[in-house]
Amino acid sequence: MSDTHDTMFDVACRRAAKHGHGQSKRGNHRVEIDGPYVPLWTFVGLIHRIKGTLTCYYYDREIFAIDFTNARVTDFNMLSYSVSTTNNIHAWMAVCRRMFPSVVAAWRGHWSCWTLRQGGNGRYVSNWVTGPQVDVIENLLERFVKRVPWVYEDRYGIRWFAWEKFDEPLASAFHNSSGFLSREQNWRYFDFDWDSNGEWTRRFKSDDAKRRWEQRKRKRELAQRRRAA
């Protein structure tokens, strides 16, 4: 599959270099470059540059795109749609890793976890969330991405990841919060949300949750004292 995608990319690039727009289609696969392709030869070899958008299709449906002008990437909420769709997205990503290594490196790892969402085809669950707390973590992610600068929706409702706006400390705060809720069933008592100062803050889910957590804490402290005696 990778050879097919590499060949299609090369054909689209040659056409874009000549006409300012290029596409290549083979079977159910299609790639389009909307904008000029400007190859740059350097001492380290060929550097591929696109001034526009690279969009990949499967069965004439958009499944992956890189907007080089606005420094953003999306999977059109299709990464977990089906096995064949996912495999095609991964194949195009492999091509992009070879052709645009510096751009892909700027995505800082698994960019798609920030654009995961529930859709008509079922739940999108990231790999680091398992167990009965899945709904809690998904709702947590939905609240979080509404306020971060590197995730936003266009007018068609498609989520994009803007890699130049990515904030590592803020992302770490979210991962820490989701990890905290996943441990020792803390999701039963706590939640995280944005406060009035724009801080991602932990809070009790309710007064009853606070009472139950304090009761659990007292029981654990009593058990520890008994074991130490």
Over residues 114-131, the pLDDT tens digits come to 876 544 333 444 444 555
pLDDT of residue 120: 35
Closest listed residue to residue 37, CA positions, set 62, 54, 24: 54
pLDDT in tens, 40-78: 766 656 677 888 999 999 999 999 999 999 999 999 888
Q: How confident is the model at residue 14 (pLDDT cuts 50, 70, 90)?
A: confident
pLDDT of residue 107: 80
- Plot region of 147 (φ>0 → left; ψ -120 to 50 → alpha; else → beta): alpha
**Between the CA atoms of 95, 98, 100 and 102, what dihedral angle is there, to the nearest 10 degrees?**
140
